[in-house]
Structure 1
């Protein structure tokens, strides 16, 4: 459960960066494509932690990379939807991957806040209220929740 919550928080942080830089990234990508005429044959490589060198002028699908983040085994997936991408567009992803160990520590701290009854506990409680008693039992959450003082409406 803790690893699931940690994963959700890391994904949330990733989405934050996507929303924060997404419009700018799209604009930069369009500007880059408008400046490019014909088929570009030269490589424009950028090094991404966990994925190695990526050619920005000829992006491709990158399979899951299995690695360890602060002692936790994780799979990281990289999806680039365009055939070409600009350096300013990929930069937030590069920074995010470079700082993933620190981001995971922050996420783990936020999960530990759950046990102290802070905002995270309220967030989780709100989501647990969406499930009925049978759904919670099928997920094995009922015992976990009761032991940690989580309250929800079973009606």
Structure 2
């Protein structure tokens, strides 16, 4: 039995053209080809970033490169003056999870919940952001700005 081919009618050709136009609305692209090319570039950039992060993670597991992650294992601390005990410590555990340690003394202090909340939120956010940047998992601000410049430059060339 022979396969029946779908006959392209004028109406179906117009409909597929409209679908393409709908996909291009709100983008800086005027053709589907331009959009596909940009998507391929993004896919390649993302692949490179993930491969770089993967390589860095594998290398930092080796003893000779452990210094890189050791800073994060020691963590960030918040102290009152020069006292030895930390109010809050945020560090990287051996299993690469983020660990937050709170001083036992802070539990007994009156009205310490708000202070602790602010310290924990800001320190953990800062710690995690810096760790992810160091491991090349997220982009830093200069890379983001450079990507924006490239996109704007391509848009100017197309107009």
Instruction: Output the TM-score relative to the length of structure 2.
Output: 0.32
Higher helix share: 2
Higher strand share: 1
Structure having greater relative contact order (Cα 8 Å, sep ≥ 6): 1
Q: Rg: which structure is higher?
A: 2
